[in-house]
A and B are shown apart, each in its own frame.
Chain A
Amino acid sequence: MSSALVIKNLHLTIDNPKDAVPILRGINLDLRAGEIHGLVGESGAGKSMLGRVILEILPPRAKITEGSIDYPTRPLPGKTKGRSAARHRPHISLIPQDPMTSLNPVKKIGKQMSEILRLNQTGRARNMLDQAESLLREVKIKNPARVLQQYPHQLSGGMRQRALIAMAFSTKPQIIIADEPTTALDVSVQRQVLCLIQDLQKQHGTTILFITHDLGVVAKICNRVSLMHSGMILEQGNVAEVFCTPTHAYTRSLLAAIPRYDRPLRELTPVAESLQLQLQREARAYDHQRRN
């Protein structure tokens, strides 16, 4: 199977005035075309930062110190230093975490969608609002013509996330980074949004990097999964394999920590502190080794 995105030995640090803090430590990731790849890890593991590296929206002081990102199926201007040309990358888009802050509050949905379409249009039909309407219909918004005329604050969280999903797919991207797209939604809406993402992904054959800390979601929609901790990928593989025969202690401990309604709460074992400390020690040892 061909790869949509290959990351090799990626190192990223954040430069502070005094020192440089390593955030990603030698990430190797191979996104296969058409798969949903789960990226799991606790807060601070570096999973969102990895997504931002791919989207090229790093915070100002973050620097890639080593490694490469390649798109085998798409010839790119490579490491051009030029600004807008290299920056214009509609083949990768983002489904954000928080639908409440991810839409421009002073613009109607229709306006926001047609702006994106206009920027990324490759000729052809010019009626952006009609295109926007059919995109909204695709994400199963009931009254698309009406929603186009509404401002973000007039829509519910679920509706906004649907609109954002429509926007993410509107540029016909090859790769979508979904950064915890259901975390801010309530449970009943979560399921609908997950199904929607899955359906659209099948329809368009998009490759999705699905960032989450919900292993249940990974089990339901992902083909493969990578587990991250302290900026390193600890385990990677098919979802079934990783879940049935985890090789890393951290993976086993995460799987044991999934709450289940058919088991009493005291059987729930959180990730042991000693394991956390050990992982952090390993990360520091890795940094030390690299420096010498």
Chain B
Amino acid sequence: MSSSYLLNRLLLAVPTLAGAVTITFVLLRVVPGDPIAMMTGPGATEADIALLRAHYGLDHSLLRQFVIYLGQLMTGDLGTSISLRQNVGELIVGRLPVTIELVLFAMLTAVSLALALALKGTFWRGRWPERIVDGFIGIVVAIPDFLWALSLILILGVAIPVMPIFGRMDLTISFDSWTNFYLIESLLRGQLEVTRSVLHHMVLPAVSLALPLMAITARVLKSCLNAEMNREYVTLARTRGFGRLRVIYSQALRNALVPATALSGVQFTFLIGGTVLVERIFGYPGIGNMAIDAVINRDLPLIQGLVLTFAVLFIAVNLLIDLFITFLDPRLRHD
């Protein structure tokens, strides 16, 4: 692992981001929908609309607008939201921690459950309990996250109302957060009442996001493990006194994790996409929820800012995944 490799990867991120920025900008202005029409009522006069148009710079040519936008981006300015009338950068920084906490919690749940399922399934290889594991994975993988969200609300929120189904924490509790990472911050500051409430509210949306991710991860990991179990080095380990379980976690697992982790970069995209719907369903105040509002209001600067954020997240996660794979497999290190 060299720093030149890292630098290389970071440089490669620049054209990717530039592409994302350009495509978003052009698409948003090509598809029908007008932010000014959304913000003014039906009674607005032509003059009012023209005035607003000029105020937001929408009267310039497309190219001019793009140049202005890029110029602002360079200085770190994402513009001002049309519908919320606030700085887009500040809006996103405020909401992003909400989504990050939710996604991390969902990923942690999904990955640990997937590991357990895949390891158990491999342990029972060729015997009847393996079919139960496969069947379970098959059923869970077929149900999308929003359907889980709705079912969980119906069962645990309405039929047996034990779980909260709306918001990030109890409205009766007040928490003056500095970072907006409620879960981590309240834990560090020792305000466990807040931690408990945030966790309680996080369970259902996180589980909705985690279940499909768990199933697909378990399926991929299990098939990778199966492929490793048929390799000669595993058979050899068996002859040397490695037990049935030990040979899986001490020999096959690390090798199987290489392709399985590589595929999880794609799954992360689905997870981010999933937050948009799931946050909406649970009224969770993250950037996914904000994205839907932004689209409904045709809030061009906010949509652009959010897409850029998603792109940066995606690139960062994939870089981390690549680094992790290089850590796992020494054959990838020496070029």
Contacts and interface: CB of A to CB of B under 8 A. Distances in A.
Interface of A: 55-57, 60, 83-84, 87-90, 92-94, 96, 98, 101-107, 115-116, 119-120, 151, 153-154, 164, 167, 171
B241 A57 contact: no
Tell me if B's interface is mostly helix, strand, loop or mixed: helix
Contacts of B328: 106
A151 B255 CA distance: 14
A87 B125 CA distance: 17
Interface of B: 125-126, 231-233, 235-244, 250-251, 254-255, 258, 328-331, 334
Contact of A119 (B125, B235, B240): B240
Given A60-B126, A105-B255, A153-B331, A120 B240 contact: yes
Given A94-B236, A96-B236, A98-B232, A104 B241 contact: no
Given A115-B250, A153-B331, A102 B233 contact: yes
A101 B231 contact: yes
26 contacts: A57-B238, A83-B243, A83-B244, A84-B244, A87-B238, A87-B244, A88-B241, A92-B239, A101-B231, A101-B232, A103-B233, A104-B233, A104-B251, A105-B233, A105-B255, A105-B330, A105-B331, A106-B254, A106-B255, A106-B258, A106-B328, A115-B250, A119-B242, A120-B241, A154-B334, A171-B241
Tell me if A's interface is mostly helix, strand, loop or mixed: loop
Nearest to A120: B241
Contacts of A87: 238, 241, 243-244
Name the residue among B232, B236, B258, B329 with the largest chain A CB count within 10 angstroms: B236
A164 B237 CA distance: 11
Contacts of A107: 254
Contacts of B240: 90, 93, 116, 119-120, 167, 171
A245 to B, nearest CB: 37
B255 A90 contact: no
A238 B238 CA distance: 33
Given A98-B232, A105-B331, A151-B330, 6 more contacts: A84-B243, A87-B243, A104-B255, A105-B329, A116-B241, A164-B236
A90 B241 contact: yes
A101 B233 contact: yes
Name the residue among B231, B232, B237, B244 with the largest chain A CB count within 10 angstroms: B232
For the complex of A and B, 9 pairs with smallest distance between CB atoms: A101-B232, A151-B330, A60-B126, A102-B232, A119-B241, A88-B241, A84-B243, A104-B233, A55-B239
Nearest to A116: B240
